[in-house]
Amino acid sequence: MDQSRVLRFIGQVETCRVVLLMVLVVAFVSGLQYFELSPVLLSIVSPGNSTISEFRKSNDTTKSAENETFLASQEASTGLKPYNRTTEVLKSSEHKFLNDSHKIEASGQRRRSNETASSLHPLQPKIPQIRKKYPHRSITKPPSIVISIKQMNNMILKRHNDPKNSLAPLWGSKVDQELKTARDKIKKAALVKKDDTLYAPLYHNISIFKRSYELMEQTLKVYVYSEGDRPIFHQPEAIMEGIYASEGWFMKLMESSHRFLTKDPTKAHLFYIPFSSRILQQKLYVHDSHSRNNLVKYLGNYVDLIASNYPSWNRTCGSDHFFTACHDWAPTETRGPYINCIRALCNADVGIDFVVGKDVSLPETKVSSLQNPNGKIGGSRPSKRTILAFFAGSLHGYVRPILLNQWSSRPEQDMKIFNRIDHKSYIRYMKRSRFCVCAKGYEVNSPRVVESILYGCVPVIISDNFVPPFLEILNWESFAVFVPEKEIPNLRKILISIPVRRYVEMQKRVLKVQKHFMWHDGEPVRYDIFHMILHSVWYNRVFQTF
């Protein structure tokens, strides 16, 4: 009896072992199948993600894994997934609005297709993201890769001469041929030996700039969308003072321009989206929520609106549209459907996702008075500027504390490096200093760059990967000093090594370049900041039309 029980027990144990072994084998095989098929399953379950798998395959063959990291960071920050550019969009007449449901659906597909960033960033430096949990917070350490001004200039030239970077329109238009004609004329510009208005050493090529500017005046037409609710859209007077004033001043002058505006969208070379990133943040951001999803959604809904009412957005996937945005958050808020647009951004950080040669660096101008937006420009002549270098400001970010710790208590009397000081003293120091330090705060941009120029002080820019305004045209190294962040301990040594004759010439060029950074109330003046911003947009658009 006992023996039969033992035998029965042994049989049960063996059966359990066999069953357990079978379970393990099935689990192992299932695991292998899952990992082999997961990309396929992902493309089936999630519509549009086939682009991601194709993107990964291409990366395996081109050794561009960093681009996948860049794309993933954009998905994480915006909540938008990339889509391949659809080819099945109805080619309706440019003279008709899209009213029927089929066309609206097509425009929605086109809007979502704009969320692809990889195809438009082949020249973007492969720089890993170093943002913290919340993308709008400051970078707390230096970038892992630093792009020099020379490298940025080379990136612009390469992008402007590579047809692969052009997003071809779905159907042709007369304006495309006009842009191509302008491009050919600019490239064949006659040599300018001397000009009474423009000072040649300020520019990479004065002949190219002069011809491009003339063609802009003769050719360019801009259509401004009337859609959009105030105050986020169409209310420049709400944002014409303070450090975000560039948004308001450009919007006001663009919407009232007699030379450049057209009421016929079929004749437009560019389309302006008149919104304020600062007002957007003020009206929609929920304090301490650490989420900007509602801001991104609001802007996305606007694209849906214009894409369903006009053929212009769908024709070019938004690549002939532009906007100006000076708030720090604007780059991440406009990554999704706006990524193909020409984005004029104050926070022009080539280490994040600013695309040199497509996007435009918007000058950050601090306006204290609507009646006198440029302030009391000018300053002492070079021989009376007895202070070697000056800086004052709040300790935002990681660079300024290093700057103050290194230089605020040093015995050298010619280095005036302070925390915050009163505004009158601030201006007085700028007008008496040879070099004005423009150290980055939370982001790469600073109003000190323009302030330095207006007060006749040579800018010393300490902000790795900052793209200075109008880099497509201006030779910044001819009138400004760029000091890598790691060289802050050697700041004084770098500045005193500049010969006096060289400094005097740089200061002269600063005075010559002032006109490009001045606002004018009423009617804009040739070559002023309004026209320079518009020219940078025009220039980048022309040289991405093949």
Q: What is the 3-state secondary structure (H, E, C) of 43-102?
A: HHHCCCCHHHHHHHHHHHHHCCHHHHHHHHHHHHHHCCCCCCCCCCCCCCCCCCCCCCHH
Which of 472, 393, 471 shows the shortest CA–CA distance to 436?
393
Distance between CA atoms of 327 and 5, rounded to whole angstroms?
81
pLDDT of residue 16: 63
Contact criterion met (CB below 8 Å) for 270 and 537: yes
Residue 191 burial (CB count, 10 A): 7
Low-confidence spans in the chain with pLDDT less than 50: 1, 33-138
pLDDT of residue 26: 63
Query: What Cα–Cα distance (Å) separates residue 3 from each residue in 9, 10, 69?
Result: 10, 11, 66
pLDDT of residue 19: 62
Residue with tokens 């105050």: 231
pLDDT of residue 515: 98
pLDDT of residue 33: 47
Distance between CA atoms of 42 and 395, rounded to whole angstroms?
46
Per-residue DSSP letter, 380: -
pLDDT of residue 63: 35
What is the pTM assigned to this prediction? Answer: 0.77
Q: Which residues contact residue 508 at a Cβ distance below 8 angstroms, ignoring those fewer than 6 apart?
A: none
Q: Which residues contact residue 426 at a Cβ distance below 8 angstroms, ignoring those fewer than 6 apart?
A: 392
Distance between CA atoms of 471 and 361, rounded to whole angstroms?
8
pLDDT of residue 139: 56
pLDDT of residue 193: 87
